[in-house]
Amino acid sequence: MKATDRIHIGTSGWSYKHWKGIFYPNEMKPTDYISFYANHFSVSELNGSFYKLPTQATVLKWITMVPDDFLFCPKMSRYLSHMKKLHDPEEPLQRFFNIFEPVKQHLGPVLIQLPDNVKFNDVVVRPFYELLQSGYSDYRFAMEVRDESWFSDESLKLMKRHKVTLVFAQSEKFPYYEEITAKDIFIRFHGPESLYSSSYSDETLQEYALKFGEWIKQGHEVWAFFNNDVGGHALHNGAKLKELVAELTD
């Protein structure tokens, strides 16, 4: 296993209809998109699970359509993150993991994205992390936050104690704080200027490729996803970053 095998690069989902003609062949059925995508990338976020949980049968079907080493990073249901705001997490977590338990060997970190109106609150967050650690220790978790209170020493220490990854959210809109809190490093590229619809320069991608190289030397595993899907920027940026990472070993 090469060190760069611990760098996983993909996009924040694959089922984008507006990628037809710029990535997917015009005649291709949407049900075949995942197989086509898996010929180009070896990992994907599962963004749809944020809006509506898939059935277990659907998840099992996806697994049959990708190579054995393909990995999914499912996004936690917004019911827990945005509606309940991490309160009373037992039932939402159980429902989520009942679906994904049979395929956990195909999962990377589970992404939990919080809205900007959820601030760090030790009274809520500490028992939530404790539940993740005690009830779901077979899984890894990455928290994407939208309020700077999560970058406090108290919050970061709690993440480190419970091995929860702080997501680096790269964009002009969202707060960005680069502190490593776990073995996994998780970065989401939302678009450098226009959110979800602008492209990263080769120079910026080169800077991140070099960072990734340093991080894996330190023993970390890197997960990088492009969420700038409009216009297919995510595909082009992802492919370029993969190319730059491959050059690290040349």
Q: How many C-alpha atoms does 142 have within 13 Å on its Cβ side?
A: 26
Kindly tell me if the per-residue pLDDT of 207 is higher than 80: yes
Q: How many C-alpha atoms does 101 have within 13 Å on its Cβ side?
A: 10
User: How confident is the model at residue 248, as a pLDDT?
Assistant: 85
Overall average pLDDT of the 46-67 stretch: 97
User: How confident is the model at residue 1, as a pLDDT?
Assistant: 62
Kindly tell me if the per-residue pLDDT of 157 is higher than 70: yes
> What is the distance between the alpha carbons of residues 204 and 16, in angstroms, rounded to a whole number?
25
> What is the distance between the alpha carbons of residues 90 and 72, in angstroms, rounded to a whole number?
23
Domain limits for position 238: 3-249
Does pTM top 0.75 for this prediction? yes
pLDDT-derived band at 2, boundaries 50, 70, 90? confident
Q: What is the pLDDT of residues 121-134, one digit of tens each?
A: 999 999 999 999 99
Query: What is the number of domains present in the chain?
Result: 1
**Tell me, what CATH number does 107's domain have?**
3.20.20.410
Sequence letter at residue 212 = F
> What is the distance between the alpha carbons of residues 65 and 21, in angstroms, rounded to a whole number?
21
**In the predicted model, what is the mean pLDDT of the chain?**
96
Kindly tell me if the per-residue pLDDT of 216 is higher than 70: yes
> What is the distance between the alpha carbons of residues 173 and 195, in angstroms, rounded to a whole number?
7
Rounded to 5 degrees, what angle do the CA atoms 139, 171, 125 make? Answer: 40
Q: What is the pLDDT of residues 28-50, one digit of tens each?
A: 999 999 999 999 999 999 999 99
